Each structure stands twice: as C-alpha cells, then as structure tokens.
Structure 1
Amino acid sequence: MNREYLPSKIFMIKVAFIFVIIATIFGVYKTISYFKNRPSAKAGDVVLVKDVVGKDSNNNGIADWEEYLWGLDPLKNGASNKEYIMAKKKTLSENNPLSAPITGNAAESEALSQEFFAVVVSLMQSGGLTEDSIAKISDTIGQKIVPEQLPDIYTRDMLVIDNKEDGDIEYFQALDKLNKKYADKDMGGELTIIAQGLANNNPQALRIAASIAESYRSFGQELVKLPVPEKIALGHLSLANDYEKIAKSLEGFSEILDNPLVGMKALLNYKKYNDSIASDLASISSNLE
C-alpha cells in the first residue's frame, strides 16, 4: 500500500470513492455512513479524521457532514435532525442485514471502510446523493479531484458516411447488432466489481474490472466503422471517442488500492464520459427524428 496515505486518509478517500460509485450507478442518490471519531496516526497529517467527523455544530451527537448528506441543516434543528436520522438508521438496520456490524481481523481502517460499504449497499434504493454532497466529501480529503479532458482519437475523416434513403434504418440495425455482439462482455457491470474489490481490498477484482476496458475500446473501434448518416455524424463520432475514453478511465481503476487519488480521478473520468455517452445517444436520437 502506498505509504503516502495514512489509514485515516485512505479511509476518507475510499468514502469519497464509494460515494461517486453510487452516484454513477444510481444517478442522484443520498448515501450516509456511520463511522467513529479517530485521530490521525501521524501529527501534522493534512487530513485528520477527528477534524472531518468531529464537528457537531448543533450539539446533537451527529456530525455536520452526516446531517448534510441527509439533506439537513447541521446549524439548527439539532433534536429533530437527530430524531429523523436515528429513525432512518433503525429502519435500514431492521430491513437490511448488510448493515450489521462487521467482524474479523481486518485492520481498523479497513474494517471501517467495509462497514461504510455495507451501509452504502443497504441505502442504494433510498435517498439521493447530490453533486454538492460529493463535493463536501471530496473537500474532506484535502484535495480537489476533477476529471480530465481526455483527447479524441477518432476524427471525422475516419467515418463512413451513408446518406441513402434507408440509411437511418440500416444504422440502427447495425448498432443493435453491435450491442448484441458485446452483450456478454460485462460492459456496465464494472462498477459492481469495483465496489466489491474496494470493500474487500481485492486487487484481483479491480484488475478484472480494468480488463473490461478492452471491451469498451473494441466497441469504439467497431462503432467508428459503421456507415452513418451525415446528420448524426458528429454525435456518432463523439460516441466512439467516449467509448475509448471510458476504456482509458477503466485502466486506472487497478490503482485504487495502492494510489486512491489516482483511482478516484479514474472514476471521475469514468463518470464524466459515461454521462457523455448518454448525451451522445440523446443527440443521435433527436437528429434522427
């Protein structure tokens, strides 16, 4: 493990990392975690867990960051905020065994990470994690992590333009055929594998997820060769490039455990270009109407 990150910092990065995973899979979802107030193992560390989780502005025994993630104002309504959160936690605990305490000989920080992940899983179908929530958690790790602008590798002159009268139908048929060809390549399932690898400190799971990158890359290579009507050429080109960019992002996932910040950036890139693919498809659809 990269010694640049002490356990407290690794844990906080993992927390932020899982938040983005859940946001990516489920759109806008609210997630909370319950973890204890523990000091950093080294004086002078940039990020101290006690500083992150210890602040309780309304003195209700629940940290400000946790109240924020429930959509509550931590500066007021202390008693009612606590009543609301505790009721939610009780319901989740009763309805989902994944929120039960974790046992074993894992290191303290890793046990906390697994506990957090169990709670996250139990909350996947409730609440909503906002961009603001992600930003607040990102702030706690003391670094601004933003997605990169990856370069395009495909250009318009590589496209095969098809302006025949039935070109629209042929395009959709070809695209459907390509999608079916890759249906068993686990594309879209990589975040589940990533989450499992992160929760269990399993580098093999992360390598498997990273290997799915080649399927995205190959899909983009085949996509750019499909005959495409002129009116959707730009959207089609962007789609092919975004598949390649997701491939590049996935390749960085294997570093999550050893270099969490690099892994976090890879995940944010993945989310950015996954969202871009949705925009590409919407553009293609609207231009064919």
Structure 2
Amino acid sequence: MAAGGRSSGRPAKKKGPSKGAGGQRRRGLEGKGATPPAEMRHWYKDKARTERIAREERGGQRRPAAPRQRRSDDAPEYIGGRNPVLEALQAGVPANALYVAQRIDNDDRVRDSIKIATERGIALLEATRDKLDRLTEQSVHQGVALQIPPYDYAHPAELVEIARDAAEVPLIVALDGVTDPRNLGAIARSATAFGAHGLMIPSRRSAGVTGGAWKTSAGTLATLRVARSANLTAALREYRDAGLFVIGLDGEGRTDIGDVGLLSEPLVIVVGSEGKGLSRLVREHCDVVARIPMSSAAESLNAGVAAGVALYEVARHRRR
C-alpha cells in the first residue's frame, strides 16, 4: 500500500461500460448548415419586394393578374413604366398625380418625370410597390405610375369639324370590334403620323381610351381626338350623308387598298378586328371593301399594322 493510503478492506470495484448518447450529441453539434441569406427567411420584411425586382429583371414576368373588373366611365386610368410615363408627360397628357415607389433607384427618366410633374402642378405621391401593382393591374410599372382622368370623348360630328376648321380633306379612322387597347393606341399613333383627324369607336364591345391605350400611343392621344358612338353603323350613315366615303379594310375585299380611286376624297377608313374582320352590318355600310395585298404565308395583319398600311397609302395618294 502506498504511503498515507487507506484501505477499506474491500476489493476495488471494476468500472464497467456506461450508457452512451447513441451519436445524437455528435449530430446535434453538426448544426443545420449555413445561415440562409436574409431574403430567404420567411420573416424577411422585404422578401416580396426582392422577388418583384427579380421578376422585372427577368423581363417583367409577373404572376397572372386577377380577372379585370369593368371600370366605370368616371374612374381614373393609370400609365405605368418609366418610358411611357415620361412620354405622356412630355406630350402634355392631362394627369392628376404621379406615383413614385419608395426607395426607387432614380435614373434620368424618373428625375425628368418628377421635374415635369412639378412644373405642371401635378401631385407627387409616394407609394409602395404593392399599391403600384394594384393601380396598374399587375403590369410592369418600374416604380412609377401616372394617374390620368377619364377620357372626354368627342361626338362623331366633331371630327369632321376639326378637318374643316383646318381646311383639310377629312380623314377619320373607325374601329369595328377592336377590343385590345394596345391596338387602339397603335392605331392612334399611325393616325397621327399620317394626318388623320380623329378616331371613332363604338361604346360597346370595343377598346376605350384606357391606360394601356395611352401607353401604346406614346402620347399621341393627347392631340388626336377620339369620338364614341352608341351605334357604329348609324354614325357611318351620318358620315356618308355629310359627304364622306367609307372604306372597309378586310382580307376578303376584292380591291387592293392602293387601287381604290377614292383615297383623295373625304374618307372614313373602318378597321375590323383581327379575328373576325368587319361585321356584316358595317360591311353593308361601306362604299368599298378593300384588302391589303400580302404573301399567302401570312393569314392576316394585326389591326394596328393594317391601319398603318392603309393610312400610308391614303397619305401617299394625297401628296400627289
């Protein structure tokens, strides 16, 4: 026995194996991996904004919009997008307010829009991107939206008066069944470029002067008047009684638009829908139904393109 030691007189008890943790402690120390970045955490307050910006950078892809509710005639419209908003302000489009997103990355277009709006006394309002999504009905707004008042439509007879006041041969474009506001905006742009005195649309089953039409028109709707009639065929009869000829555009027409002998006369050019063309009643009220010659590989032209081609032919003949 070692010095100073004491013995109880009983043999030392041999220590046996103890119960382990079964590897649970080791796995627990491994943790759950790297900490996820902020935007991947479900509580991250700007997660929706980050996802929205990523969609815009991928080309404006957004979740499908809910079915559009019919707007009342006195409801305001909204133009979204930095270029369309700036073009509208530069063209003098009437506007009530300019909405700008919070923490927006300013560029020259945003700064110029704010400057013009301030000079014109248009209200400047800060808005969340969620609100801008709602106002523009999920279209790509790039953080800016312009609120415009409901359009003040003219009477169909006013378009003839505009031409006569300018001492010019009347040229009016009527739309039959064109329901896409982007087509209306494109037609307005071509009508302005080739000297038309206005557009005439029916009040039912037709696109109106909405934010989409303003956006596509690149501001030309600020100077081109749009009239609306409750009955398109009745309005065409009144135009004929006033001395205007009516030319309908349709792929089934027998005469090429360039060969129509009335292009230098007072005219109403009627553009039908891309799918159905001219309706039967409208066709019956046309003096001539003309077609645009094209390759057989193309079945039809977009209504906006067809109107542009026809208006160019009219302008070319009148310059002679």
TM-score by length of 1: 0.28
The structure with more strand, counted as a fraction of residues: 2
Bigger relative contact order, structure 1 or 2 (CA pairs below 8 A, ≥6 apart)? 1
Bigger helix share = 1
